Amino acid sequence: MQIRDYLIRRLMVLPILLIGVSIIVFALTRVGGSPIGIYMSHEMTPEEVEELEDRYGLNDPLPVQYVAWAGGVLRGDLGWSGVAVAPVTQVFRGKLAATMELATAAGLVAVTLGVTLGTFAGSRRDRLPDHLTRVFSVSGSSMPDFWFAIVLLIVFWVYLGWFPVGRSDPAIWASIAHPTGLYTIDSLMAGSWQAFRDAIWHLVLPAITLGLATTAIITRMMRSSLVEELNEDYVDAARAKGLPERLVLKRHARRNALIPTMTVIGLSFGFLLQGTVVVEIIYQWPGLGRWLADAVLRGDQATIMAYVLFTSVLFLTVNLAVDIIYAYLDRRVVLGS
């Protein structure tokens, strides 16, 4: 099947999956209680509570409420965030930009280090560098991010004073325009080296924390794939025809080892976006994760539903993209078969 046909078929299935996901999300959030909880206090009379429930249509049957909510989603209205005191859609844009920037930075750290270390270890199998890399990957994937984040803060914030928390210096942030909401990009667009430096300075610790576990996973995946590829006959053939080992590794073995690694990388980006909750809270990063945590604790159901819906769409899209990239990297893969 051609990539185009496959893409069309997957896109046609996408809305059905999304409807299913949205029903599950809606039902599960209602299990946690009424959305009116965030607005309630003891000072309210029963009439005032009733008035609020009427205003938000919460006395209607659940299917009617679902249709009203889903209709709003289709119109781009995801409801009102009681936590942010603003429409969810409006808040989402800014938060998403902050989280995307952090996840992308973490992804860059993870892919760069993971592929490099994995290649390094795989090509030196059972030698000291391989053992050291294994130690790194095991400890990296087993260290809890909340603990690692605190350790980094103690060392680099409290004792050395090198890197701060937060997303930016208030004065520098205010000195440039923010058309995209991505601080690094905005600073480059504004031509402000000071702002770019500030953006990177604030990104370093949260990106390393967030990317650590993914780095470890990619490293292990890349190493094992490479070891497998280096045992293949075509590698022997390449060596036999006199290709230097460096070219055998980079042109042949590593390219093929990247295929399974690519699946992990693709899915990891989704996990990076989801994994920002703890990192954003600890580093005071004003993104989706921190907003979600606050929403969960305070019962802000509109925000929770929007977030879960967003991550569902994200995973479906990332899966689709990975399948297509997979087919591009490995011509033997037949899409849709």
Smallest gap from Cβ 268 to another protein, in A, equals 15
Q: Give the nearer residue to another protein in terms of CB position, either 17 or 108.
A: 108
Smallest gap from Cβ 250 to another protein, in A, equals 6
Which amino acid is residue 216, in one-letter code? Answer: A
Residue 46: Cβ within 10 Å count = 7
Q: Give the nearer residue to another protein in terms of CB position, either 66 or 157.
A: 157
Q: Give the nearer residue to another protein in terms of CB position, either 1 or 193.
A: 193
Smallest gap from Cβ 107 to another protein, in A, equals 10
Distance CA 89, CA 72 (A): 11
Q: What is the DSSP string of 109-142?
A: HHHHHHHHHHHHHHTTTTSHHHHHHHHHHHHHHH
The pair of structure tokens assigned to 105 is 């930075």
50, 69, 307 from 22: Cα distances, Å? 27, 10, 11
Q: Give the nearer residue to another protein in terms of CB position, either 10 or 221.
A: 221
Helices 254-274 & 301-329 angle (0-180, nearest 10): 170
CB 81 within 8 A of CB 303: yes
2, 127, 310, 319 from 328: Cα distances, Å? 11, 33, 27, 14
Smallest gap from Cβ 89 to another protein, in A, equals 8
Smallest gap from Cβ 233 to another protein, in A, equals 21
Q: Give the nearer residue to another protein in terms of CB position, either 13 or 154.
A: 154
Q: Give the nearer residue to another protein in terms of CB position, either 17 or 193.
A: 193
Smallest gap from Cβ 246 to another protein, in A, equals 11
Helix or strand run (H / E) with residue 87 = strand 86-87
